[in-house]
């Protein structure tokens, strides 16, 4: 977490206190239960300063004393930790087939989690299902819905400020209407944040996956749809219109499975390389397969024609990654999605990339599962909730 003393504005002594309280909170969040003296060591601040700042944030309800550590010479050290009940975060993931969700406390512990297959046919029914899911999750977590300080919804599409609606929502019918967004806001209140689902997965990757140790990476997801989440300098980049990472719109049209109608609706690269395009390419090549999964399985069994289709897909994905490298040159590329995480696909992509890209960054396949969007939403919500609480805390 970075503390920025805004643009060209002058600083008061109070700023020091604000920064130091954030630093201490950060250390407590990361290191779990710690004593004042340890905090002094970690932060470099003096013991009296740590005591003073800590008592402020304790009074604000963000941390609390939680036990003593003995075993070493000297008095038992009083340990402090984040007060988990200071806030709760709801993370939701709305997809075409599944709804997923979880509730976590401020310490990041998941209190309840649930996935369900959607039966909704339109946006209204979908919102009702989300609403019911939220209620169930809160109840299971043992809290009242009002205690949710932050709700983050991972959804296909991006927010368009001009229309005040989601756009590019892909296969989710009715989801791009302004009424849908209004209904969501109405139901989930002002704390609702809507994050692109793949961006949320990238955040999960940043917190729990390969992105942990680097501060700039691209999460490239290839599956039913295609997209990317871009983390630069540790921060998710949405772009000026929210479309950063919409690599489905890369102007590639050469794939043999490309469908011109798809190209108009979801972008050239999506039409050439999504799961549906793999199936189309396979059929054109004479492989009978009802899903991309089966094409990959056939290739793995040694079907030469299917293998050629897979190789072609790997080349397309390598080209997309090459594009990302030439534009922003991230430290790491994480491949995700049904196709991206398929066995052997990573190696095939790297093999192609070697011939295309000016440099070869670290490329890894994601190890996170289907819950990653929810996990990313929770992570985003926790950060947001922390900022809210810290900003609201009286000393600052």
Partner DNA sequence: ATCGATAGGAAACTAACTTAACAATCACCG
Partner DNA sequence: CGGTGATTGTTAAGTTAGTTTCCTATCGAT
70 binds, among DNA, a second copy, none (CB under 5 to 8 A by kind): DNA
Query: Does residue 391 touch DNA according to CB under 7 A?
Result: no
Kindly state the DSSP code that residue 84 receives in the 8-state scheme: G
Binding flag, residue 51, DNA (CB under 7 A): yes
Helix axes 123-141, 178-188, angle to 10 degrees: 20
Partner touching 168 among DNA, a second copy, none, CB below 5 to 8 Å by kind: a second copy
Angle at 354 between CA 348 and CA 357, to 5 degrees: 120
Q: How far is the CB of 353 from a second copy (least distance, A)?
A: 10
> What's the closest the beta carbon of residue 106 comes to DNA, in angstroms?
22
- x/- mask, a second copy, residues 332-361, rule CB under 8 A, reads ------------------------xxxx-x
DSSP code for 342: S
- 3-class state of residue 93 by DSSP: strand
Contact 169, 175 (CB under 8 A): yes
Residue 323 interacting with a second copy (CB under 8 A): yes
**List 1, 3, 11, 125, residue binding DNA (CB under 7 A):** 11
Q: How many whole angstroms separate alpha carbon 159 and alpha carbon 253?
A: 26
- Candidates 12-20, 108-116, 155-163, 294-302: pick the segment binding DNA (CB under 7 A): 12-20
CB of 33 to a second copy, least distance (A): 18
For 141, residues 6+ apart whose C-beta sits below 8 A from its C-beta are 88, 103, 105, 111, 112
Q: Which is nearer to a second copy, 106 or 325 (CB)?
A: 325
Q: What burial class does residue 102 get, using C-beta atoms within 10 Å of its C-beta: 0-12 exposed, 13-18 middle, 19+ buried?
A: buried
Stretch that binds a second copy, among 15-23, 196-204, 294-302, 368-376 (CB under 8 A): 15-23
By CB under 7 A, tell whether 46 contacts DNA.
Answer: yes
101 close to 137: Cβ distance less than 8 angstroms: yes
From the list DNA, a second copy, none, partner contacted by residue 364 (C-beta under 5 to 8 A by kind): none
24: its two tokens? 């201490």
Question: Rule CB under 7 A: which of 55-114 touch DNA?
Answer: 70-78
Q: Sign of dihedral through CA atoms 44, 47, 53, 57?
A: positive
Residues forming contacts to DNA in the complex (CB under 7 A) are: 10-14, 16-17, 20, 35-38, 44-49, 51-53, 70-78, 395
């Amino acid at each position: 977490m970075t503390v920025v003393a805004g643009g060209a504005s002058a600083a008061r002594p109070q700023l020091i206190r604000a920064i130091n309280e954030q630093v201490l909170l950060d250390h407590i969040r990361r290191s779990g239960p710690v004593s004042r003296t340890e905090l002094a060591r970690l932060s470099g601040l003096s013991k009296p300063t740590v005591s003073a700042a800590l008592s402020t944030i304790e009074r604000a309800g963000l941390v609390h004393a939680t036990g003593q550590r003995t075993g070493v010479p000297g008095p038992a050290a009083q340990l402090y930790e984040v007060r988990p009940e200071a806030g709760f975060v709801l993370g939701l993931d709305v997809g075409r087939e599944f709804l997923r969700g979880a509730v976590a406390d401020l310490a990041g512990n998941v209190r309840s989690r649930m996935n369900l297959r959607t039966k909704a046919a339109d946006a209204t029914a979908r919102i009702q299902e989300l609403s019911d899911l939220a209620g169930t999750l809160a109840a299971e977590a043992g809290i009242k819905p009002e205690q949710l300080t932050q709700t983050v919804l991972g959804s296909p599409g991006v927010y368009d400020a001009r229309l005040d609606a989601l756009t590019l929502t892909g296969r989710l019918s009715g989801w791009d209407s302004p009424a849908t967004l209004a209904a969501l806001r109405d139901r989930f209140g002002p704390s609702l944040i809507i994050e692109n689902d793949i961006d949320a997965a990238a955040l999960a990757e940043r917190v729990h996956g390969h992105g942990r140790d680097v501060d700039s990476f691209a999460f490239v997801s290839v599956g039913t749809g295609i997209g990317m989440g871009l983390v630069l300098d540790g921060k998710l980049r949405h772009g000026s219109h929210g479309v950063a990472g919409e690599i489905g719109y890369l102007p590639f049209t050469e794939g043999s499975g490309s469908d011109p109608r798809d190209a108009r609706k979801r972008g050239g690269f999506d039409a050439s390389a999504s799961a549906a395009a793999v199936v189309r390419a396979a059929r054109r090549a004479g492989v009978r397969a009802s899903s991309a999964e089966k094409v990959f399985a056939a290739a793995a069994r040694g079907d030469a024609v299917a293998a050629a289709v897979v190789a072609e897909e790997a080349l397309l994905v390598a080209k997309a990654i090459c594009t990302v490298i030439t534009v922003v040159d991230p430290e790491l590329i994480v491949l995700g999605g049904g196709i991206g995480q398929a066995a052997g696909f990573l190696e095939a992509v790297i093999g192609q990339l070697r011939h295309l890209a000016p440099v070869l960054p670290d490329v890894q396949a994601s190890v996170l599962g289907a819950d990653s969007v929810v996990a990313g939403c929770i992570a985003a919500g926790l950060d947001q909730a922390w900022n809210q609480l810290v900003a609201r805390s009286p000393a600052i």
